Structure 1
């Protein structure tokens, strides 16, 4: 979602007064609390490098190459020719689930063997448990491949190596089409892939995502690629599977953006995954705010570094989401309004944005208020310049260069403005 996201709170804005990419750093940003009723969380994490095969088996890779070509061509007969009979059902499901997905490329690469224990081989046949890397691109949206980890059993038969299927565990990275047939709808600048969603639902979501791109570009410019891919599962457990976690850990998040942190290539199209448990209950304003918040994370991803304070990365997404709504601080930050007198004068710590944080809505509302102070005192261009400066240097230097002040002095101003807003 766009804004903030918080566990247990999910009122719609108008009703209130107020993450697998292997081999790259990943930013997973929990959506926003809708007008402070939904909360989001940002989590920095890095996935480990796969162990490379020292001397890859050329015959095994040749099998994977044939399978990759068959999937890309949607050639069921060719795909069956690479598999054991026991894997036929999985192959059929894969092609069915990918039928509407606009693939530009698809390729499996052998990474390592011995990924998990296997029963003894039958007769003289050799069997391997393989770790694979899947690299794929969505036509019109991915300028570079997105990668995911997968596991499979491969077996050497008299006719050569054959695909024996993917095991239940370890499952690898879950992609939307692993969970069922993926419907698709393309807007001007957004692609939506959804599970068990009607064409009209997907089209409406694509139109909303297009509007979010325009809203974000109005503030952040057009150099970020201006493309989004939105994933819309139908159930909470699907949402959790796509993020590689448990439903309980993400039940309160409105959405999550996954992408490469600080990447040089601004053309990458990152994924925004919606939590249906929250999303399906939002009104029009809530959905707009959520998608604008998450799209801001996509647009600012190349400037978001491991040292970027979470109050700043979430605050700019909140500011962008609500800047054109005309809502007042009391309308957008009702929880903060109630506790303003006891809020510390410091800016929120990174830990305040963890999904399990007690006062997550307040942390997001404080981040929005901090950006409000910056905009009201220095202007919106200064907010954009400040974010870029933090990315190039650090918070201390950015405060000195852009705001001509110190982090502590800026925090004091934020606290003064917060108390004044709720007096």
Structure 2
């Protein structure tokens, strides 16, 4: 362990909560160097929707490497890229009636957000972007400008401008009509609001506290954008690729964003990969106007295509995710009922779930208690007040029940300790 303390930057974070050296992983489990197994309710912060080292993806990847397939190709045409594009159109876009051009902006979620913001400004000639309270969109400067968390914004070291935050769904606990403030500002020539190029939104805020937007709120937002000629960007980096049930998290609302950001689990194997989906009329880039050395990860193309064929040729994955999500919800409701004073609040959608603690610090203590019992979970929310549950979508029913047992024990131990 000393090599990490001696050489790795102080910026490291997850490893501080899980101070063991992991060595192998398969499915919903990781194993440390001492042979202890940990059940994974973290799933690489949403990058491992199909679990660790899924065999259906590993074999095509190994075969591609064995035959010396191109690994690095920037945006050159390759067999791997072509197969991914064909598969993505056939299994994702066409069945949903979606017409998007596919941009490969770079390997991370922040890359796709940056490209979306730049493109929206290029299309409209406007600078300002509307974002939402408690949003998280990435750690680069453009993405940070539309992120809400003050600690993360503070790391920029410079003013973060050209973005205007607005209240996310239920920010005022239902006491103020949705979009009253934003709609009024947009229609008032004296409001002082800079005319926005775009609105960027997560349909379920992950890092912000597992906050799901209601269907009618999302539909209202899409309508507002249409009426005011503002581009709608959906950041589906963490909640896309089936995390909430459907492949895209916005499908539940029946809307079609102008630009969609995907990353994390799109490669299927935890390999770096990101997509920016653009309505054809808005694909106004000049050649090379947004680029990056690692925007063409051919290994990720191979595993991504294999993942789509394996898991998205039918609706089995979607139905399974929704059913498992309801099982978690039932457990969280059960735990909330034991509190009887509203101090525990279940949150989420699909297999993105959370339990909000009224008392600061208890969510972190619960996650620590779970780690001691062999379960990985993280916290979310502006004050880390939410215990976040995001297992692989492929977790077995038995593993899910095993993990939920640990969750019950950990919450109980934390509440007993707090009462004492």
TM-score under structure 2 normalisation?
Answer: 0.26
TM-score under structure 1 normalisation?
Answer: 0.25
